[in-house]
Amino acid sequence: HAFPISFHLGTAIAALSTGHFNPSSGVCWMGVYPPGCNIEGGGTECQRGTPYDRLFGFGFVFVPQAVYSVLIALVMLVMGCHAWTRYRQTIRKNRFARISDFGRSQRTKSNLVVTQCILYAISYLNCTAWASVTGFLHERGVQMDYLGKHYWIAVCAITFYPLQGFLYFLIFNRPNFIERRKRRQRQRLDEWEEEEQEERQRQRQRLDEW
């Protein structure tokens, strides 16, 4: 977390101080101002930025993002392979693990991890896809009509992009919520069993008295 936050915050401050950080579609980006002034035949003189702003944006954002994303993916892949190897070794030690409580708990944990990964991926794609669409249209020179035909694209981009951290927070706490719900269900079941047992005792007492 420290590396991407510090790197991108530093490049954003540097680009802002040198005039390379300007409005672009629904967010601020390394580009020229006014938008489209670098297009040939546009007839507008650029007040901020240089013709190499796209190259700066690509080098300062996408390249580092790709590098640390690949590194994190490789680290998680190695950790996953190591965990799977340990799991298989445990299965070999216990011949009946497939039908035991341990085997069922391990499969439950594996399904929970897979579900968490899928939810993280869906949340990431949903939060970044709309902003990527607006950025792509802007780079293609499309005049964005945020109050007209591009209204819902702009609404989705501005709504979901800032919600990425909040959605991650919900997904991160999802296992705790599931565990608390199961705990409440077990408590209710235990209370019901206690009530049933007390009722049976009262019935036995009544029968003995009779």
- Residues 116-174: tens digit of each pLDDT: 888 888 888 888 788 778 777 766 666 667 677 778 888 888 888 888 889 999 999 99
For the stretch 70-99, pLDDT in tens is: 888 788 788 878 877 877 777 676 655 554
Angle at 91 between CA 89 and CA 96, to 5 degrees: 155
Taking the C-alpha atoms of residue 186 and residue 176, their distance in angstroms, rounded to an integer, is: 15
